[in-house]
């Protein structure tokens, strides 16, 4: 390991995947674990999508490589979907189909960054952003905003973080891990600020269709048209169509960005699995009915989990209006003896470990998102599990002495 590269040694492993795999391993050993860890919808992939994939498997033409940036018809369908959902036009040659949204994040920074370039990352952030920036030689610059301001960074805070090396800013609304949907004013102001200072905007729109109450996704490229030639939109089928394991995502940017990302992909993965792209084509070009049904189910769970979390003394959870995460502040429970053994946790990381070991409830500590003191609960799990998990958490966190 001493001989491994600095690049890989500086990368922090994915804490969300670590919590999930520990929970899965405990389950496999026969323990009854309730998993709030993974960002995975518990719904099956829609039947029409599975059918399209099954048919594709029987057609030998799909046993071949596809063009590196993706099947032409899928790139067209993604462009059409953007017009439908985001309300502005892009062309198929601006689209690169990637192995999940995750590869789109990685490729974006490989394309944009030189050593020492800074990327402003509104915090709490999705755990992979800083690592993808570091892997590209960049420097993550975090700007924290708390639940009191809906986790929305102010322009003043962004301006204070801006330097001559600032190359890009990430916008992720609806947000993982907070579930916040940023206001149109905030999104627009960030777009205008980025235009003024020639800063790339990376807009991760993977939760675009999961909005609740009055919230709706504001597409930065729609509200600030001038930003489009310095905008890279990231997206994928994992969340919207309950297709995390199919590994299809994409990036959409100026044609030169797409060409550069495709050049990189040509040496890394060649292309996304042909059959998976056929499945994604059926998903992206189909209706959103099943998505709306999933959203209704998520909405009921959202209400249930927020009520249950706030019902635990010492837990404060703002009401999220997007994605499928609740982000709870548990700082009041740190340093207190909890559970039957009176376990004291000084950090949210220790707290999450104790909660998993002792109450068999898996949640991801805020440290994974640059926000110690919080726990992220994914509510993409069955209603009964949600209720049982919250019952256990409450019982464990309530002092009996």
How far apart are CB 29 and ligand PLP at their closest, in Å? 26
Nearer to ligand PLP, 118 or 204 (CB): 204
How far apart are CB 206 and ligand PLP at their closest, in Å? 4
Cα separation of the two ends of the chain:
48
Q: Going by C-beta distance under 8 Å and a sequence separation of 6 or more, which residues neighbour residue 218?
A: 173, 182, 183, 184, 187, 188
How far apart are CB 13 and ligand PLP at their closest, in Å? 15
Q: What is the distance between the alpha carbons of residues 218 and 372, in angstroms, rounded to a whole number? A: 28
Nearer to ligand PLP, 204 or 333 (CB): 204
H helix or E strand, kind and range, residue 365: strand 364-365
Q: Does the CA dihedral 235-240-241-245 come out positive or negative? A: positive
How far apart are CB 127 and ligand PLP at their closest, in Å? 8
Nearer to ligand PLP, 264 or 359 (CB): 264
Nearer to ligand PLP, 170 or 361 (CB): 170
Q: Where are the beta strands (DSSP E) in 172-284?
A: 200-204, 231-236, 249-252
Here the tokens at position 156 are 């003043």
Cα 159-319-217 angle, rounded to 5 deg? 60
How far apart are CB 343 and ligand PLP at their closest, in Å? 30
Nearer to ligand PLP, 128 or 348 (CB): 128
Eight-class DSSP state of 238? T
C-alpha separations of 331 from 100, 317, 359 in Å: 34, 11, 19
Q: Exposed, middle or buried, 371 (CB in 10 Å: 0-12/13-18/19+)? A: buried
Closest to 334 (Cα-Cα) out of 325, 345, 350:
345
Q: Which residue has the tokens 């919808």?
A: 41
Nearer to ligand PLP, 170 or 227 (CB): 170
Q: What is the distance between the alpha carbons of residues 160 and 141, in angstroms, rounded to a whole number? A: 11
Asked whether 65 and 270 are in contact (CB, 8 A), the reply is: yes
How far apart are CB 6 and ligand PLP at their closest, in Å? 25
Q: What is the distance between the alpha carbons of residues 361 and 24, in angstroms, rounded to a whole number? A: 11
Here the tokens at position 310 are 């706030």
How far apart are CB 123 and ligand PLP at their closest, in Å? 13
How far apart are CB 197 and ligand PLP at their closest, in Å? 24
Half-sphere exposure of 244 (CA within 13 A, CB side): 10
Nearer to ligand PLP, 195 or 381 (CB): 381
How far apart are CB 363 and ligand PLP at their closest, in Å? 15
Binding residues (CB under 6 A) for ligand PLP: these are 39, 100-102, 126, 172, 176, 204, 206, 236, 238, 244, 249
Nearer to ligand PLP, 238 or 330 (CB): 238
Nearer to ligand PLP, 234 or 312 (CB): 234
Secondary structure (3-state) at 300: helix
Asked whether 205 and 217 are in contact (CB, 8 A), the reply is: yes
Instruction: Count the neighbouring beta carbons within 10 Å of the beta carbon of residue 336.
Output: 14
Nearer to ligand PLP, 284 or 333 (CB): 284
How far apart are CB 215 and ligand PLP at their closest, in Å? 16
């Amino acid at each position: 390991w001493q001989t491994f590269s600095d690049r890989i040694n500086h990368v922090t492993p994915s804490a969300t995947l670590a919590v999930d795999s520990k929970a899965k391993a405990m389950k496999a050993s026969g323990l009854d674990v309730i998993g709030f860890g993974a960002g995975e919808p518990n719904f099956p992939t829609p039947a029409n999508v599975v059918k399209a994939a099954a048919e594709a498997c029987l057609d030998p033409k799909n046993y071949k490589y596809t063009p590196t940036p993706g099947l032409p018809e899928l790139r067209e369908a993604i462009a059409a979907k953007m017009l439908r959902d985001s309300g502005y036009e892009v062309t198929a040659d601006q689209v690169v189909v990637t192995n999940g949204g995750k590869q789109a994040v990685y490729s974006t920074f490989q394309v944009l960054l030189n050593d020492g370039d800074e990327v402003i990352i509104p915090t709490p952030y999705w755990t992979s952003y800083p690592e993808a920036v570091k892997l590209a030689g960049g420097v993550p610059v975090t700007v924290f905003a708390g639940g009191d301001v809906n986790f929305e960074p102010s322009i003043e805070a962004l301006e204070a973080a801006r330097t001559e090396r600032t190359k890009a800013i990430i916008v992720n609304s609806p947000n993982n891990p907070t579930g916040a949907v940023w206001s149109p004013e905030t999104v627009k102001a960030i777009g205008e600020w980025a235009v003024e200072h020639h800063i790339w905007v990376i807009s991760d729109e993977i939760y675009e269709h999961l909005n609740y109450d009055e919230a709706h996704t504001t597409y930065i490229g729609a509200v600030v048209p001038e930003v489009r030639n310095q905008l890279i939109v990231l997206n994928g089928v994992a969340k919207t169509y309950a297709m995390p394991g199919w590994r299809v995502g994409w990036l959409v940017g100026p044609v030169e960005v797409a060409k550069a990302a495709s050049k990189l992909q040509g040496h890394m993965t060649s292309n996304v699995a042909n059959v998976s792209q056929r499945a994604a084509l059926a998903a992206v070009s189909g209706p959103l009915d099943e998505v709306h049904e999933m959203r209704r189910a998520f909405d009921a769970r959202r209400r249930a989990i927020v009520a249950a979390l706030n019902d635990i003394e010492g837990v404060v959870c703002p009401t999220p209006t997007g994605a499928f995460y609740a982000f709870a502040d548990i700082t009041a429970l740190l340093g207190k003896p909890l559970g039957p053994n009176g376990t004291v946790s000084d950090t949210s990381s220790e707290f999450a470990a104790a909660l998993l070991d002792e109450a068999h409830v898996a949640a991801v500590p805020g440290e994974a998102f640059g926000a110690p003191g919080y726990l992220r609960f994914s509510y993409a799990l069955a209603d009964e599990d949600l209720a049982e998990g919250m019952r256990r958490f409450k019982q464990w966190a309530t002092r009996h002495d």
